[in-house]
Amino acid sequence: MKEYTPEGRQALLEDISTQHATGNETLGTAVRRLRFEVTGLDQETFALMCKMSTKALYQIEKDKGNPTLSTIDAIMRKFGLRLGLTRAPQTIYTPPLGQEKPASNAPIRGTKPRRQ
Superfamily of domain 6-77: lambda repressor-like DNA-binding domains (1.10.260.40)
Q: In Å, how far are 68, 90, 96 from 93, measured between CA atoms?
A: 31, 9, 9
From the number of C-beta atoms within 10 Å of its C-beta (0-12, 13-18, 19+), residue 3 rates as exposed
Residue 67 contacts residue 27 (beta carbons within 8 Å)? no
Task: Tell me the pLDDT tens digit for each residue of 23-44.
Answer: 899 999 999 999 999 999 999 9
- Judge whether residue 112 has pLDDT over 80: no
Q: What residue spans define the domains of the chain?
A: 6-77
Cα–Cα dist 116/12, whole Å: 65
The residue that leads in pLDDT, 49 or 97, is 49
Global model pTM greater than 0.75: no
The residue that leads in pLDDT, 2 or 16, is 16
- Judge whether residue 15 has pLDDT over 90: yes
Task: Tell me the pLDDT tens digit for each residue of 54-107.
Answer: 999 999 999 998 899 999 998 998 888 888 766 666 656 666 666 566 566 666
